[in-house]
Structures are given as C-alpha cells and as structure tokens.
Amino acid sequence: MIVNAGNLKTLFIAFKAAFAGGLGTAPSQYTQIATVVPSTTGAEEYGWLGKFPKMREWIGDRVVNGIQSHGYTVKNKPFELTVGVPRASIEDDQYGVYSPMMTEMGQSAGEFPDELVFSLLAAGRTDKCYDGKPFFATNHPVLNAAGKPVNQSNVDDVADGGPAWYVLDTRRALKPLIFQDRKKPNFVAQVAETDENVFSRAEYVYGVDARGNAGYGFWQQAYSSNKPLNAANLEAAITAMTGRVGDNDRKLGINPSVLVVPSTMEFAAAALLKSLLVNGGESNPLAGRLTILVSPWL
C-alpha cells in the first residue's frame, strides 16, 4: 500500500470497524448485578446510600427521610489500551493481520466493565462501602427499635474455606453494585508524519481510552460465603437475606435473585438449582430459586 493520507484514513476506518465488531460482541454480565450510573464529573458522591427507603403509614405530618452523608464517593478512573503497527507492514500490504488485533482490542474494551464490577465482589471482604465497613462484613451497624446500633452480617466465612460464592438481590432499581459510566470506549490513532511515534519509530499507533469506575451499593442486597456450596449453606444465605431488617427493625423485603459463582463452581451451582429431584426422588426446594451467573472474572 502506498502510505498517504487517503490510504491511512481508509485503514483507520477499517481498523475502527474491526474494533467496533469486537466491542459489540463482547460478552457482558455486569448490568445483571450493577446499576449503570451516567457520570458527568470526575467523581460522584452517593451520600444517600445510608438510607434504605421504606413506606410508612401517614399519621400527622410527613416524616422527611434525611440524606445521611456518609461521604461515599466513587472517583472516575482513566483506562487505555494501545497497539503499534509498523509502517513497513502497511507498506508491504500486511496490515490485514492486524485486523484481528483491533477486534480483540474492542472485545477487551467491552469486557472491562465486567472486570471492574466482578473484581469488586472478590475484594468485598476488604474494600469498604458507604458505612465504612468492608462490603462483606460481620459488623454493619443498624439501629434497632430502641435506637441503639446492633451489628448485622452479610458474610459467612470459615478459615481455610473454598472459593467464595455470592447471593444477590438484583430486582431493585439500585442493584448491589454500581458501574459509573463517564466516557465510553473511544478508538483513536496517531498516524501523522509529524507524530513522534511515526517520525522516530516508523510506527502507527492505534488505541482506545475510556473513563469510569465501579462502587458498592447497599450491602443489605448481597451475601457471601466461602463454605461449601451445598443446599444447607445456600438455604442459610437466602434465609439470612430474606429476614434482613433495617433501622427500627423494619423489614426490608430483600428477595435474593442471583447466585454468582466462579467458573470452578458452575456445575455445583447447576446441581443445586436446576435439578428438580434430589436424594433419590425428593422434590428440590431450591430448583429455580435463583438464577445462576457464572463469572470468569472471579
């Protein structure tokens, strides 16, 4: 190929199309467990997370539910992926071998929200949520009917336990996790003769950049365990969530809907939730109770 502005523009269009193809076919699971929040600034503050809204009987004046300022802020982060194509490859008409790389770049950009969101679940035992406690903790403070703080737990771990699994309530407007979308993946290039990469290294550079981040929502909608994934432990997790109460001992109406497991636990999860019969013919009370979500990012 003759290297000139017209041919480089045509090549950019072809590479961008390959990128878009990969972006469009990337498997996406994050929206199943995370609420997507559009962002227009460098960070978003979620101080209102301290209040789980519930209806009450209207007696007398309205009771205004004040926003508890917990100072929980999710800062947007920049992300990028860049590849170089030697000028000689374009001159020798070998640029076609780079199209699959552009497709892979698109798929990687499409998968990065999943990586962010599911990595939060994996880090939930140490990374803190709005109340200053780890997202999965045994000591989340909740006020009882007497107005005194009591600890609630959303984690059930044992020493030397196995891989963690997660039960989530994803039916509400705010899911247990948040994906903050500041700037969608953008495909760009440096191909001008005066660009440093072209002038000094005879290399055309193509890249993608995006901005965003992920954070924690209500810990009340999530539960994690590293105990064996069996009927007894899964039933205990579901029961703990459905019995969850908020401030003043008011029922929260939590209804678990999803079981999230790593790839190594896929078949154990299917045996628990997809088998109609167990123990040689007994009805399986867990059959269809939760949707299974198998994540390769855990």
Q: Measured between alpha carbons, how far is 244 from 151 in angstroms, rounded to an integer?
A: 12
pTM across the whole model? 0.84
What pLDDT, in 10s, does the model give residues 51-94?
Answer: 655 555 666 655 444 434 445 788 999 999 998 888 888 887 77
Query: Quick one: tokens of 90?
Result: 């374009």
Beta bridge partners of 113: none
Q: Describe the strand order of the beta sheet including 77-86 as a list of residue ranges.
A: 34-38, 177-190, 203-216, 77-86
Residue 63 has a pLDDT of 45
**Closest Cα to residue 47, out of 27, 19, 66?**
66
Q: What type of residue sits at position 13?
A: I
Residue 206 has a pLDDT of 92
Residue 60 has a pLDDT of 60
Q: Measured between alpha carbons, how far is 168 from 87 in angstroms, rounded to an integer?
A: 50
Burial class for 24, CB neighbours closer than 10 Å (0-12, 13-18, 19+)? exposed
Beta bridge partners of 85: 204
**Closest Cα to residue 290, out of 268, 270, 267, 265?**
270
Beta-strand relationship, 34-38 and 177-190 = parallel
Residue 70 has a pLDDT of 45
Average pLDDT over residues 165-194: 92
